[in-house]
Amino acid sequence: MKHFIKTAIGAAAIALSAGAAQAVSLDDVVATGPEYFNGIVDLDYNLTFGPDAGSITDLVGPFPVGGNLSFDSLTDAFISSSLTVFDTDFSILFDGTVEDHSLSQDFGPGDDVLTLLLVRSFGGATPYAIATLTGDLDALGGFFAVGFAGDVNLTVTGAITPAIPLPASLPLLLAGIGGMGYVARRRKA
């Protein structure tokens, strides 16, 4: 019985720790600030460039920004993609790699929105940032299918993962383990 209780406790610990190892998605974060960048940038996403298919640049504004975008259509994910926002003295305000994305296209002349979740690798007051690119991204017929070249509005805002509430099943699990321990102790006595 003692072995069974140790096994149950070990299995519960593994199950609880497995949830913490999962990747973060856009659904898991909340924009809280600070706003690292808000302005017009040049987005050049050209599929003929090869693996590093796109770039984001703005070396004219007061807060220069630069990044590379590489999208893998087989996995539906950005790979080796990053975005860096610099201060006026070119110190890094935020630097991060793309972890998740969402794209809202209207396949018409209206604004489309590409949202990127960035995981901080250097600088910044928050562990994550949300970069939002707004413009007519599907002007050529489809952003990921055809590409895009032109000016878009970019907003980069700090983000955090909100506190995760205690799962309802955890107290039941702990009560069950405690009950098994009580029964085992009672039988032993």
DSSP one-letter string for 41-103: EEEEEEGGG-SS-EEEEE-SSSS-EEEEE-EETTTTEE-S-EEEEE-TTS-EEEEEEEEEEEE
More confident of the two residues 6 and 135 = 135
Give the separation between CA 54 and CA 77, rounded to whole angstroms.
14
For residues 169-186, average pLDDT: 82
Place of tokens 């102790």: 185
At 66 the pLDDT is 85
Q: Residue 24 is encoded by which pair of tokens?
A: 């973060």
Give the per-residue pLDDT at 60: 67
- Whether residue 17 is predicted with pLDDT greater than 50 in this model: the reply is no
Q: Could you give the C-alpha distances from 80 to 19, 30, 120, 140, in angstroms and in order? A: 25, 24, 14, 25
Cα(7)–Cα(35) distance, rounded to whole angstroms? 48
Q: Summarize pLDDT for 110-135 with one digit per residue, the tens.
A: 888 989 999 988 766 788 999 998 98
pTM for the full predicted model: 0.70
Contact 113, 148 (CB under 8 A): no
* Highest-pLDDT range among 20-24, 54-58, 120-124, 133-137: 133-137
- For 13, the enclosing helix (H) or strand (E) is helix 2-20
Residue 19 pLDDT level (bands cut at 50, 70, 90): very low
Q: What is the mean pLDDT of residues 135-148?
A: 76
Enter the DSSP assignment of 28.
Answer: G
What residues have CB less than 8 Å from 86, skipping those under 6 apart?
A: 63, 64, 65, 66, 92, 93
Return the pLDDT at 77: 80
pLDDT at 115: 92
